[in-house]
Structure formats: structure tokens, C-alpha cells
Amino acid sequence: MRIRTLDDIHAIVTGGGSGIGAATAEALVNAGARVTLMGRDMIRLHTQRERLAPDQRSAIHCEAVDITQADAVDGAFERASQAFGPATILINNAGQAQAAPFTKTDAELWQRMLDVNLTGVFLCTQAALPAMLERGYGRIVNVASTAGQIGYPYVAAYCAAKHGVIGLTRSLALEVATKGVTVNAVCPGYTETELLYASIDQVIAKTGRSEAEARAVLQSNNPQQRFVDPHEVANAVLWLVQRESASITGQSISISGGEVM
């Protein structure tokens, strides 16, 4: 049974075309929210709209945007506001991961990881926050990673960016603590998404292991010996955006089968 706790609330989900973003959008729509999906690929976004709300397409709006570009973000958020009104909920999910030994991590890779994973969160939050403060109510959830809570080898730039997301979450949560706005982060471990599949392909290419062996190597980080399902992350996000979750702010919640305690 669907419990519509978010009727008529506007939620923006970046990186909404697949994986955790799509699962989160589905949870929000099922709870009654009107959702704007944002991502680079409009075709993928429209495909998700057809999949998530075949009988209520008017509940989902799509915006193609590069979240690393301030002008593009401002334009996309303005158009989303025209469609559904100012956003009450912002899910900063868009991200990218690329592995390289530290000595082969060049400035271009470093900057790209910071731009997509950290600066994008900053720009989208700046676009959404003023209306939340004016209204005296809002929910911001940043999809970080266990890489923002601990270190992993060969992804220094990604880890640095995700640590930055958690730092931003904590700082902003304190700044708006009396304004009716909560700011939290969810930190998934290895999750069944395209990012995971790319990591598996990298392990196969660099080690010669089979796909099953590569999956086992990555699953070994999780005490439950499995990958996280995107809907498990979406359920945590849905909990954090409820009105009844007002006292939960500044948290970085690990969704990793006990990898981080």
C-alpha cells in the first residue's frame, strides 16, 4: 500500500535517469510528490518518466542539465519551479567515479571528480535553498558514499570529493538548523548501479579476473557479502525527507551492510 505523505510537494532529483536517482524518484512519486528529474540525457530522463509514472506523467518533469555549470543549473531550477513551484525537497544524487593510482591522477581527473561530485552539490543547493528559507521548510539529502566516510585505494579524487560532500552537509545543516530546513547525507556502499558495473569492468580489465571473481572482490567489503539495492538507498532518503524527520540533520548515514559503523 502506498502511503502518500508527500502529496503535492515538489522534489528535485539530480542524476535521476538511472540507479539510485531513479529509485529515489520512484519512491517520491509513490509518496505523492511531484518530481523533477535532472540529468545530462533527456532521452534517458523521459524513459524513466514513462517507467515510473505511466499513468500520471504529469507528476514528473524532466530537465537536461550539466550540474557543473552555474548558469545551466540556475536555468534548470527556474524552469522546474515554473512547472511545479519552488522545490521543497532536493536530492543531490548526480555523481561520477573514476579510478586511477594517485601518481596517475592528473589535474583533469582530479578537477572532474570535484566538479561533478562536489561543486554540483554546491550549485544545486544554492539554487534550491533560498526558496526553502523563505518558506521556512525544506529537506536536502546529498547522496555521498562510504568513500566519504572512509578511504579506498585508487580513487583519491572521488574520495576527496565525497568527503567534501559530507563536510558541506554538516556545515550547512548547522547554518540552517533554526530555519526549518534539514540537510543530511546518505552514504551507500557498492550499489547495483552503472557506477558499480564500470568498477567491475575495471577490475576485469586490470586483473584478468572473471566477472564473478570481480564481483566477489567488491562484495568482500560488505559484511553482508552483497551489493546494496538502489531501493534500499531510496527508502532511507524517503525517511529523511518526511516532515516527521525534522530532528535528523547533519547526519551521514551509511547504507553499506555494516561496512561503516
Catalytic residues: 158
DSSP state of 227: P
- In this structure, the chain runs to a length of 261
DSSP string of 156-220, one letter each residue: HHHHHHHHHHHHHHHHHHHHTTTTTEEEEEEEE-SBSSHHHHHHHHHHHHHH---HHHHHHHHHT
Per-residue cell: 66: 550539466
Distance (Å, whole) CA 42 – CA 60: 13
Closest to 18 in 3D by CA, of 197, 194, 228, 238: 194
Give the CB-side neighbour count of residue 111, counting CA atoms within 13 A. Answer: 4
Kind and range of the H or E run holding 91: strand 89-92
On whether the CB atoms of residues 181 and 132 are closer than 8 A, the answer is yes
Which is it for the CA torsion 248, 259, 13, 163, positive or negative? positive
The residue among 228, 205, 101 whose CA lies nearest residue 152 is 101
